[in-house]
Amino acid sequence: MTAQQRTDRPTRRSTRPGARRLVLTALAATAALLLAACGGATGADHQGTAGHGGTPSATAGGNPAPGPVGDTDVMFAQMMIPHHQQALEMARLAEGRAADPGIKKLVAAIKQAQDPEIQRMRAWLTAWGKPESAGAMPGMDHGSGSMDHGSGAGGHGSGMAGMMSDEDMKALGAAKGRAFDRTFATMMIDHHKGAIDMAKDEQRRGRNATAKKLADDVVRTQAAEVAELNALLDRL
């Protein structure tokens, strides 16, 4: 081995630690990028997956009504949606027909409250994996106490407490002015009482805390509106 060769060997050794540092730095950067990518995908997947027992996740973007869910909770949402929809239909009929300021004020309150509640209950059913319509709705004719005797102002029931018949709705649409106000108040009192009965059944037998909270709201607000409608009828 020549003197020149002995001089070159340490020089080659001295470059190896630097090369190793460059390789390690590149590997660390690559690993960090991979971890970040995996972490983002995991977070996105978690929100969209179901938890134990098929219950959707309660994280942001997950279940809007988390916790235990029973048949009463599901039926409450499935029945209250069309019940609210008919109340909104009655409220729409007031446009161009109602004359009393008190009726007009209540109509606006009904629209403001019940449309958002419909959207909330639809979101619950989606999260629970249940259809919006229960079809024949087992239990409507037995066992539920308040949901099996519905009849409208004209005495024609749909099987749901407080629902108006087609004839009732036609009569409301044909009325105007003071006649409309009295018919609307009479029908909406019956309609609200039906909703209150359904909500009280949810309060007694429901399991889901979010659904029971809405039932509390329905009982409180609609009972107050019934009292207001009765007062309006006394002077109409």
Regarding whether 110 and 37 lie in a shared domain, the answer is no
Regarding whether 28 and 80 lie in a shared domain, the answer is no
Tell me, yes or no, whether 54 lies in a domain. Answer: no
Q: How many domains does the chain have?
A: 2
Residue 186 has pLDDT above 60, yes or no: yes
DSSP, residue by residue, the chain: --HHHHHHHHHHHHHHHHHHHHHHHHHHHHHHHHHHHHHHHHHHHHHHSB-GGGPBP-STTS-SS-S---HHHHHHHHHHHHHHHHHHHHHHHTTTT---HHHHHHHHHHHHHHHHHHHHHHHHHHHHT--S--TT-TTTTTTSSSSS----TTS---SSTTPPPHHHHHHHHH--HHHHHHHHHHHHHHHHHHHHHHHHHHHHH---HHHHHHHHHHHHHHHHHHHHHHHHHHH-
Regarding whether 92 and 202 lie in a shared domain, the answer is yes
Residue 35 has pLDDT above 60, yes or no: no
The pTM of this model reads 0.67
Tell me, yes or no, whether 127 lies in a domain. Answer: yes
Mean pLDDT of 74-101: 97
